[in-house]
Chains A and B, each alone.
Chain A
Amino acid sequence: MSNLLTRRGLLKTSAIAGAGLAVPTIFTASSAAAYTNAPDGSGVTLGFNVPQTGAYADEGADELRAYHLAVEHLNGGGDGGMLSTFSSKTLDGTGILGNKVNFVTGDTQTKSDAARASAKSMIEKDGAVMITGGSSSGVAVAVQGLCQEAGVIFMAGLTHSNDTTGKDKKANGFRHFFNAYMSAAALAPVLAKLYGTDRNVYSLTADYTWGWTQQESIQAATEAMGWTTINDVRTPLAATDFSSYIAPVLNSGADVLVLNHYGGNMVNSLTNAVQFGLRDKMVNGKNFEIVVPLYSELMAKGAGANIAGIVGSQNWDWKLENQMGARYTGTNAFVQSFGAKYGFPPSQAAQTCYAQTLLYADAAQRAGTFNPCGIVEALEGFEFDGLGNGPTLYRAADHQCFKDVVVVRGKENPENEFDLVEIVEVTPTEQVTYAPDNPMFAGGALGQCNPGA
């Protein structure tokens, strides 16, 4: 592999020439090209910035697998994955715009500080033209801000907070993953169908920005269909034992518990709630229910048998095409490709990261340049299909993807270790679409695309 040798495309030719003559030349980076880290034709570097240490390390590892696969497919290796199902046909396995795709990886540590340091080193040291990845909204917003200032494109990985494409949206940043508002809008009708329209909700919310936007969205959506919110309790980020928050729930007269938690927090709070036997109780003459608005495969795995019967939403699920039909074409192609290489089905984080890489590559191909402004123009208002989520729109107003949302439920008797959730329903795009000036997304401005330099 020669990734390393061409790591710094910018320098290659000039450096060799310089070395030959041994005549020092001084120039500033900005004068060399029209935009940050413009490739010189021999290769283009993408930066995969994912959590490799800390609680989300496994999720990061899955994202990295998807990136490896995407790079392989873009460079013409492997079986091509979703390249064949993707509605845009500009990608032909010869890299991007004739440039071989190289990549660098970094560790966000799920800390906005470390994530920015890592992204900066990719931009400054390795000459990355695009940064992607991440497993939390705080990190996504921080790195998105950095990319905007540095003049590179940011293709968000897993980030679910409304803010990423709401008050913290940036012209250079794009999100394929769905958000808290969409989760809530997709869940509410299904919840009404399953549990009736007369329910009292008690919610536990992780006490940081993502948790708040999620809680706000869920409360608005469920109250719109007749549910009442009895109480919303904020739980500390560092909490591991949620017993003292869960114990008073039954006593409050609530008959639904909403857990606005993610990752380790969610695994623990759900485990605790099931331990307290909440799911076996009757309150107000109804079965007590638990809802986890944002699901992920790894969380389901971590919570084990506790997720049986618990409803939540996902951006994508690997069984989508088999169970919901050809609308979700691309899913099987990706699952086969991923499964053949790694031996297990991909997570939604992997799918979103793979899709983002393809979308970026395609946008560059269509724009005919890696210039961030060209890419922004190519992605804004872009309608595509065949990446597993059905017909999708990259909305120009906020750089958010609009597509169907999957409502899932934890399986009672999983057949194998990958078969943890069942698809309850797929909520169509129209139902989860909102106006760009929705109050939950208000404030902030996209600004203008920044090509750096």
Chain B
Amino acid sequence: MDTLLLQILNGLDKGSAYALIALGLTLIFGTLGVVNFAHGALFMLGSFCAVTFSRLLSLSSVKLDETKLDFLGNPTEIKTPYVEAWFGPETGAAIIDWAVPLSLLLAIPFMILVGFVMERGLIKHFYKRPHADQILVTFGLAIVLQEIIKAIFGANPIPTPAPDIFKGSFDFGLALGMDANKIIYPYWRMVYFSFSLVVIGAVFSFLQFTTFGMVVRAGMADRETVGLLGIDIDKRFTFMFGIAAAVAGVAGAMYTPINSPNYHMGMDFLVLSFVVVVVGGMGSLPGAVLAGFMLGILESFASMNWIKDIIPGIDQIIIYLVAIIILLTRPRGLMGRKGVMEE
């Protein structure tokens, strides 16, 4: 019982990342009809926004200390971050400590910009081209983006810790009256889960309750008619692309304390996120979110020891296995619409 609960919690949190990526992917697919293989790269770019931001905060003035020598016999450097110099050591240190959440300030505008540029500069020309071409060109873009990041930041993961107060974990078991250490759950993962709920909620309410969102939804359903009504749907779609990029970006930025970012993390998530989107049903936003959480939880279950004992290697293939079963029993995924991407 407690192990089940534990794995559900783990799954929710894995699922948050999947759901956020799949949400962005589906926004792009649903609005623009473009299969975006660079979406994983956008997630990765978001992570590196956090890295860049914390590096910016740590920019330091350098003083040489002649009394201590480093391994080459040169004087060692004493670095004082500028923020500490400006705001005083304590506030400065606190700002640096909160680099990851604060990096959203950089990630959101930057990712929206990236989205705009990508849509206007590249994707726009591919609306009428076959999906295979879209896949190839965005795949090429993903490689280019990740290689640029590799050239700047290297291939090694870069530690980007959460603020100090989120270190450690909360003991759910104790709170529920069980023994200590039965169900522990890291604070930052709770933050990530709540954050993902907020983002998902925001995207849905935006589409549901604003006029802008209404027009976009109408455009998703019937682009031509909306265009005939004299609405400049293209502009709105560009904007939606920006939003989708930003969703992937913030998902990436907030993910950095969970796993240190590296340049190929986008590719690691790419296949997975496509599986999530397809299982959810191409073009269905609730489907994407649902499938994200579902696959996260199932993945966690599959890693439980007694299940692994029964079926060796199940945790290696569970996602794909579920995808196959769902696609064979529900032809268009969980909540897919008829006629989307079947030709």
* Pair A305/B159 contact, Cβ less than 8 Å: yes
What 0/1 pattern do residues 262 to 286 of A give for CB contact below 8 A with B? 0010011001100111001101000
Chain B residues with CB under 8 Å of A239's CB are: 315
* Pair B316/A207 contact, Cβ less than 8 Å: yes
Q: Which residue of B lies closest to A51 (CB)?
A: B155
**A319–B17 Cα gap in the complex (Å)?**
41
Q: Which residue of A lies closest to B162 (CB)?
A: A275
**A288–B299 Cα gap in the complex (Å)?**
27
* Pair A304/B161 contact, Cβ less than 8 Å: yes
1-39 of chain B: CB within 8 A of chain A:
2-3, 6-7, 9-11, 13-14, 17
* Pair A240/B259 contact, Cβ less than 8 Å: yes
* Pair B3/A303 contact, Cβ less than 8 Å: no
What 0/1 pattern do residues 35 to 49 of B give for CB contact below 8 A with A? 000000000000000
Number of cross-chain contacts by CB at 8 Å? 130
- Categorize the interface residue count of chain B: 35 or more
**A240–B269 Cα gap in the complex (Å)?**
9
**A311–B11 Cα gap in the complex (Å)?**
30
**A298–B262 Cα gap in the complex (Å)?**
13
* Pair A277/B184 contact, Cβ less than 8 Å: yes
Chain B residues with CB under 8 Å of A424's CB are: none
Taking the complex as formed, is A340 at the interface, i.e. its CB lies under 8 A from any CB of chain B? yes
Chain B residues with CB under 8 Å of A418's CB are: 71
188-223 of chain B: CB within 8 A of chain A:
188-189
Chain A residues with CB under 8 Å of B303's CB are: 233, 235, 244-245
* Pair A247/B184 contact, Cβ less than 8 Å: yes
One of A34-42, A53-61, A188-196 contacting the partner: A53-61
* Pair A251/B257 contact, Cβ less than 8 Å: no
* Pair A248/B157 contact, Cβ less than 8 Å: no
Taking the complex as formed, is A81 at the interface, i.e. its CB lies under 8 A from any CB of chain B? no
Q: Which residue of B lies closest to A297 (CB)?
A: B156
**A12–B258 Cα gap in the complex (Å)?**
56
CB distance from A288 to the nearest CB of B (A): 9
CB distance from B220 to the nearest CB of A (A): 32
Most B-side CB within 10 Å, residue of A244, A245, A268, A277: A244
Taking the complex as formed, is B60 at the interface, i.e. its CB lies under 8 A from any CB of chain A? no
Most A-side CB within 10 Å, residue of B7, B72, B182: B72
* Pair A233/B308 contact, Cβ less than 8 Å: yes
Partner of B70, one of A268, A283, A416: A416
* Pair A335/B186 contact, Cβ less than 8 Å: no
Chain B residues with CB under 8 Å of A318's CB are: 71
281-324 of chain B: CB within 8 A of chain A:
299-300, 303-305, 308, 313, 315-316
Taking the complex as formed, is B168 at the interface, i.e. its CB lies under 8 A from any CB of chain A? yes
* Pair B305/A275 contact, Cβ less than 8 Å: no
Q: Which residue of B lies closest to A318 (CB)?
A: B71
CB distance from A289 to the nearest CB of B (A): 15
86-108 of chain A: CB within 8 A of chain B:
none
**A319–B169 Cα gap in the complex (Å)?**
35
Partner of B304, one of A236, A248, A268: A248
Chain A residues with CB under 8 Å of B181's CB are: 250-251, 281, 283
Taking the complex as formed, is A452 at the interface, i.e. its CB lies under 8 A from any CB of chain B? no
* Pair B14/A241 contact, Cβ less than 8 Å: yes
Taking the complex as formed, is B95 at the interface, i.e. its CB lies under 8 A from any CB of chain A? no
**A271–B13 Cα gap in the complex (Å)?**
16
- Categorize the interface residue count of chain A: 35 or more
Q: Which residue of B lies closest to A332 (CB)?
A: B71
Taking the complex as formed, is B268 at the interface, i.e. its CB lies under 8 A from any CB of chain A? yes
Chain A residues with CB under 8 Å of B157's CB are: 264, 267-268, 302-303
* Pair B168/A57 contact, Cβ less than 8 Å: no
**A338–B234 Cα gap in the complex (Å)?**
56
Most B-side CB within 10 Å, residue of A247, A248, A306: A247
CB distance from A23 to the nearest CB of B (A): 48
Most A-side CB within 10 Å, residue of B17, B155, B257, B262: B155
Taking the complex as formed, is A127 at the interface, i.e. its CB lies under 8 A from any CB of chain B? no
Taking the complex as formed, is B264 at the interface, i.e. its CB lies under 8 A from any CB of chain A? yes
Check A268/B260 contact, CB under 8 A, given A248-B305, A250-B181: yes
**A304–B160 Cα gap in the complex (Å)?**
8
Chain B residues with CB under 8 Å of A340's CB are: 72
* Pair B268/A271 contact, Cβ less than 8 Å: no
* Pair B159/A271 contact, Cβ less than 8 Å: yes
Taking the complex as formed, is B265 at the interface, i.e. its CB lies under 8 A from any CB of chain A? yes
* Pair B14/A277 contact, Cβ less than 8 Å: no
Partner of B259, one of A234, A268, A281: A268
Partner of B189, one of A57, A238, A275: A275
Most B-side CB within 10 Å, residue of A231, A236, A280: A236
Q: Which residue of A lies closest to B186 (CB)?
A: A275
Q: Which residue of A lies closest to B17 (CB)?
A: A241
Partner of B268, one of A53, A240, A244, A336: A240
Partner of A275, one of B258, B304, B313: B258
* Pair B7/A247 contact, Cβ less than 8 Å: yes
Partner of B265, one of A240, A306, A416: A240
Q: Which residue of B lies closest to A306 (CB)?
A: B159
**A241–B315 Cα gap in the complex (Å)?**
12
**A339–B185 Cα gap in the complex (Å)?**
43
**A406–B167 Cα gap in the complex (Å)?**
31
Check A241/B150 contact, CB under 8 A, given A277-B168, A281-B181: no
**A272–B6 Cα gap in the complex (Å)?**
15
Taking the complex as formed, is B76 at the interface, i.e. its CB lies under 8 A from any CB of chain A? yes
Taking the complex as formed, is A301 at the interface, i.e. its CB lies under 8 A from any CB of chain B? yes
* Pair A264/B169 contact, Cβ less than 8 Å: no
Chain A residues with CB under 8 Å of B7's CB are: 244, 247
Taking the complex as formed, is B158 at the interface, i.e. its CB lies under 8 A from any CB of chain A? yes
Q: Which residue of A lies closest to B303 (CB)?
A: A244
**A268–B260 Cα gap in the complex (Å)?**
7
Leading 7 A-B pairs by shortest Cβ distance: A304-B159, A57-B155, A302-B157, A277-B168, A277-B169, A244-B300, A250-B181
User: Which A residues are closer than 8 A to B by beta carbons?
Assistant: 53-58, 207, 231, 233-236, 238-241, 243-245, 247-248, 250-251, 264, 267-268, 271-272, 275-277, 280-281, 283, 298, 301-306, 318-319, 335-336, 339-340, 345, 415-416, 418
Q: List 26 A-B contacts (CB under 8 A).
A: A53-B155, A57-B154, A207-B316, A231-B305, A233-B303, A234-B308, A240-B268, A244-B7, A244-B11, A245-B303, A247-B184, A247-B185, A250-B184, A251-B2, A267-B260, A268-B259, A268-B260, A276-B186, A277-B167, A301-B156, A303-B157, A304-B159, A318-B71, A319-B71, A415-B76, A418-B71
